[in-house]
């Protein structure tokens, strides 16, 4: 699997949230899909607001700016977390916030659901019922 290690996603974000070191992997669609297959226990979080579709297997829908309040965040700071949004901006901000909070195993879908769909992968459009 290839991918760049970055501190941010695409778009602008608050640089004060950027941690030291390379804690976030920004993965292209094929690599993100491979990562999900190889890490079935990774929390898959859609951080896009408002709801605009999702990838099958998504564990939770949480607003990008409320990521640290998510009940699905693992207590183990080294546990895998996979994030996405529509374009990559919101997930980049969420990833930076998680890294600043001490999480060390974060992957972010480069280009978000837009790139996922452009690569011919399925996006689900029926909004899930709240749990």
Task: Characterise 57 by phi-psi region: left (phi > 0), alpha (psi -120 to 50), beta (else).
Answer: left
Q: pLDDT value at position 1?
A: 41
* pLDDT of 124 above 70: yes
Classify strands 106-109 and 4-6 as parallel, antiparallel or unpaired: unpaired
In a domain, 93, yes or no: yes
Q: Cis (ω within 30 of 0) for the bond into 52?
A: no
Specify the pLDDT at position 115: 98
Domain assignment present for residue 129? The answer is: no
CATH of the domain at 31: 3.40.250.10
Is 130 part of any domain?
A: no
pLDDT of residue 131: 61
Which of helix, strand or coil describes residue 109? strand
Structural domain contains residue 127: no
Residue 102, pLDDT > 70, answer: yes
pTM, two decimals, is: 0.82
Taking only the tens place, the pLDDT of each residue in 1-34 is: 433 333 333 333 334 444 434 789 999 999 999 9
pLDDT of 59 above 50: yes
Token pair 């700016």 in the structure block, residue: 65
Confidence bin at 35 (pLDDT 50/70/90): very high
Domain count, the chain: 1
Say if 123 falls within a structural domain. Answer: no
Range of the domain at 24: 4-118
Record the tokens describing residue 35, joined without a space.
């990562």
Higher pLDDT, 129 or 11: 129
Distances (CA, A) of 45 to 15, 21, 35, 81, 82: 22, 23, 14, 8, 6
């Amino acid at each position: 699997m290839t991918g760049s290690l970055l501190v941010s996603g695409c778009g602008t974000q608050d640089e004060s949230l950027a941690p030291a070191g390379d804690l976030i992997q920004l993965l292209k669609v094929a690599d993100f899909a491979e990562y999900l297959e190889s890490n079935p226990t990774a929390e898959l979080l859609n951080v896009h607001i408002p709801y605009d579709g999702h990838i099958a297997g998504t564990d939770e829908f949480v607003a990008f700016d409320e990521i640290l309040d998510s009940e699905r965040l693992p207590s183990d700071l080294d546990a895998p977390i996979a994030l996405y949004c529509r374009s990559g901006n919101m997930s980049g901000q969420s990833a930076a916030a998680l890294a600043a909070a001490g999480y060390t195993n974060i992957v972010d879908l480069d280009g978000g659901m837009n790139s996922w769909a452009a690569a011919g992968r399925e996006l689900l459009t029926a909004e899930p019922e709240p749990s």
